[in-house]
């Protein structure tokens, strides 16, 4: 079975990039939406125009859903980072206490 390596450093990297990824996705979907709307206005076929509009709207909905999921991921990672940082700090303090005890012996 494979091993997943997703340590606190990687969590922080992903956390910091989520907003950028979300904005890039939104920007590209908006560009595509505008292009498809423009094309659908220029086509003299109601059926094709209707399909393009539905496709553009569907893509926009999926983008909004994805951005919502990215936001949920960001909230989750924020909690995990805080939790892991607290655990790491407590572990480091414990090791320091053990080391100082050994030095006194």
CA–CA separation, 22 and 100 (whole Å): 47
CB 9 within 8 A of CB 88: no
Tell me what the pLDDT averaged over the chain comes to: 87
Instruction: State how far the Cα of 57 lies from the Cα of 50, in Å rounded to an integer.
Output: 11
Give 44's DSSP letter.
S
* Position 1 pLDDT exceeds 70: no
pTM over 0.85: no
**Residue 41 pLDDT:** 85
| Whether 81 contacts 8, CB under 8 Å | yes
4 has a pLDDT exceeding 70: no
């Amino acid at each position: 079975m494979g091993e997943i390596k997703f340590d606190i450093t990687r969590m922080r990297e992903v956390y910091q990039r989520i907003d950028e990824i979300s904005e890039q996705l939104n920007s590209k979907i908006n560009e595509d939406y505008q292009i498809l709307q423009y094309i659908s206005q220029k086509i003299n076929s109601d059926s094709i125009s209707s399909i393009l509009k539905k496709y553009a709207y569907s893509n926009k909905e999926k983008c909004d859903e994805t951005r919502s999921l990215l936001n949920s991921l960001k909230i989750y990672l924020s909690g995990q980072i805080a939790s892991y940082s607290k655990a790491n700090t407590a572990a480091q303090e414990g090791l320091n206490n053990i080391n100082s005890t050994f030095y006194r012996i």
